[in-house]
Amino acid sequence: MTEETKPKKILVIRSATRILNQTLVALREEFPGCHITVMVPQSVKESMEEDPQVNEVLTIPDQRRMSVASYGKENIRRMQETKFDLAVALYNIDHGLGYSNIDLLACATKAKKVRGYNSKGTFVEINSSTVRKKAFLEKTTFFWVGINYLATAILFFIITIALTGEWLFRCIFRKKHKAPASQTVVASPPSVREPVKAQV
């Protein structure tokens, strides 16, 4: 049996639940007879083992973010010994930004090929260079988002101070220029003209 004809060993990291099934189906169609291993949180291990599309299940603790650090060096070493033909990262969004930790984990398996599948069912080839670029882009994106939030907060603070200052100024100005109390004016009675005697 040649390299081309023997069943492929594929690792799928379940980093996006909603596209898992469609990805497994696509992989089965592309690689008939392949052996698929899926990495999932510990809490879903039993349900995943019942999936007919899955041959083997690897687990990671529930309360941890999927990454090389959280999976552990020893587990990574065992995955490398498996010599996967393909490692797959799943993305909930088309461009895959925010998933560099999953890409790094997939690359750490030292599989012959690494792919990232998105919600449209398409995939991109991944290597260490593309992962570094994505990680850098994510960090700079988060940085600029943080700067934007900070600038918005400072601007809101300045506007609030300015409006408060204007309100205080108006209050003080009104008190200083308040009109004096109205004085009671006694109206003089209308003058009565005496009749003029007609001259004869």
What is the Cα–Cα distance from 108 to 34, expressed in whole angstroms? 21
pLDDT (0 to 100) of residue 95: 55
Residue 182 φ/ψ, nearest 5 degrees: -70, 135
What is the Cα–Cα distance from 176 to 164, expressed in whole angstroms? 19
Q: What is the pLDDT of residues 10-61, one digit of tens each?
A: 999 998 888 999 999 999 999 999 999 999 988 999 999 999 999 999 998 8
For the chain, list the domains and their CATH numbers: 9-126 (3.40.50.2000)
If you ran DSSP here, which 8-state letter would residue 118 be given?
A: -
Assessment of whether the complete model's pTM goes beyond 0.85: no
Cα radius of gyration rounded to whole Å, the chain: 39
What is the Cα–Cα distance from 58 to 10, expressed in whole angstroms? 12
Q: What is the pLDDT of residues 103-152, one digit of tens each?
A: 888 999 999 999 999 888 889 888 877 777 766 665 665 555 666 677 78
